[in-house]
């Protein structure tokens, strides 16, 4: 299936990033967000990202202008027309995502594809809310999208081979490398990453070391660019906790139980970098 027009729902950091790489690939993009201010900020973030690429010599001015001309913004997905693929990139809330997919089912043309950027919610359950479960797939981008090369593709129980092939081709057109995961809690990346971050929280709670020492040990001892506690702050401690809860509930194993210190920080509103305080102050 040829893909030329996509709608991205959610104009936050992830949605804007997805829209940007799609525009760089020559796709026409409709960016949707019910929040007008958030939508404007998302569009500005995209334009700033394209401008920075031009300044670095990674994109020529003509392609920048073409990309900006291919961007449209709407406060309702229903205003987007002739959509080939929809990519939902809103917050990790299953009820919200299912409501959005009900709407997108009516927006995307017959034969078109509905993708979700969820990092943990089962694709099969999201697909069940639509009339076309065979056309629903997980397309999990990494943050920040314009920089990170990986996209996890997650096939639900009903996802067709054609849907998978089309989305893989589109991701590669965006310059991404894809991996395929079964539709199990956390998929590949978060199934491995979140328990590591959670264990770092336990290490801190138990006084194994200070936050700085734990992060330095992991950076220098395992050659990671960022320590686990700092990374958790950058992801958002509320998001880390949510995914940990999904893993614990979905896999039923006590080894995935969220650290009480992580839960306490979230209860305090210390979400990490975005709130100004997490394991570190910003």
Catalytic residue among 140, 181, 198, 248: 140
* Residue 111, domain extent: 3-180
pLDDT score recorded for residue 162 = 97
How many domains, in total, are found in the chain? 2
Q: What single DSSP character describes residue 142? A: P
Residues 36 and 123 grouped into a single domain: yes
Tell me, yes or no, whether 135 lies in a domain. yes
Residues 128 and 92 grouped into a single domain: yes
Element (H, E) at 113: strand 108-116
- Was 15 annotated as part of a binding site? yes
Single residue among 134, 151, 180 that ends a domain in this structure:
180
pLDDT score recorded for residue 2 = 62
Residues 17 and 155 grouped into a single domain: yes
How far apart are alpha carbons 118 and 92 in whole angstroms?
Answer: 7
Tell me, yes or no, whether 198 lies in a domain. yes
* Residue 76 falls in the annotated catalytic set: no
* Structural contact between residues 98 and 129, judged by C-beta atoms closer than 8 angstroms: yes
Tell me, yes or no, whether 281 lies in a domain. no
Catalytic residue among 152, 181, 198, 248: 152
* Residue 181 falls in the annotated catalytic set: no
Tell me, yes or no, whether 280 lies in a domain. no
Q: What is the CATH number of the domain that holds 163?
A: 3.40.50.720
* Residue 140 falls in the annotated catalytic set: yes
Residues 47 and 107 grouped into a single domain: yes
Q: What single DSSP character describes residue 252? A: -
Single residue among 157, 180, 203 that ends a domain in this structure:
180
Q: What single DSSP character describes residue 257? A: P
- Was 128 annotated as part of a binding site? no
To the question of pTM greater than 0.85 for the whole model, the response is yes
* Structural contact between residues 140 and 193, judged by C-beta atoms closer than 8 angstroms: no
* Residue 212 falls in the annotated catalytic set: no
Could you read off the pLDDT tens digit of each residue along the chain, which spans 282 residues? 667 999 999 999 999 999 999 999 999 999 999 999 999 999 999 999 999 999 999 999 999 999 999 999 999 999 998 899 999 999 888 999 999 999 999 999 999 999 999 998 999 999 999 999 999 999 999 999 999 999 999 999 999 999 999 999 999 999 999 999 999 999 999 999 999 999 999 999 999 999 999 999 999 999 999 999 999 999 999 999 999 999 999 999 999 999 999 999 999 999 999 999 999 999
């Amino acid at each position: 299936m040829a893909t030329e027009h996509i709608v991205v729902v959610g104009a936050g950091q992830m949605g804007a990033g997805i829209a940007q790489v799609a525009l760089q690939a020559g796709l026409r993009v409709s960016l949707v967000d019910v929040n007008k201010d958030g939508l404007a900020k998302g569009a500005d973030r995209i334009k700033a990202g394209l401008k920075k690429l031009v300044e670095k010599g990674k994109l020529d001015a003509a392609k920048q202008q073409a990309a900006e001309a291919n961007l449209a913004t709407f406060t309702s997905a229903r205003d987007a027309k002739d959509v080939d693929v929809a990519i939902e990139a809103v917050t990790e809330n299953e009820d919200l995502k299912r409501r959005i997919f009900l709407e997108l089912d009516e927006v995307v043309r017959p034969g078109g594809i509905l993708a979700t950027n969820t990092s943990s919610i089962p694709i099969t359950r999201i697909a069940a809310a639509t009339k076309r479960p065979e056309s629903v797939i997980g397309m999990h981008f990494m943050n920040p999208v314009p920089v990170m090369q990986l996209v996890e593709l997650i096939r639900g129980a009903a996802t067709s081979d054609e849907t998978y092939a089309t989305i893989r081709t589109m991701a590669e057109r965006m310059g991404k490398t894809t991996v395929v995961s079964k539709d199990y809690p956390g998929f590949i990346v978060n199934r491995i990453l979140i328990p590591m971050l959670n264990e770092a929280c336990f290490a801190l709670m138990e006084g194994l070391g200070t936050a700085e020492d734990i992060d330095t040990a992991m950076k220098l001892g395992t050659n990671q660019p960022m320590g686990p506690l700092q990374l958790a702050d950058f992801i958002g401690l509320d998001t880390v906790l949510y995914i940990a809860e999904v893993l614990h509930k979905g896999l039923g194993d006590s080894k995935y139980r969220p650290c009480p210190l992580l839960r306490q920080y979230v209860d305090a509103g210390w979400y990490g970098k975005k709130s100004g305080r997490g394991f570190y102050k910003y």
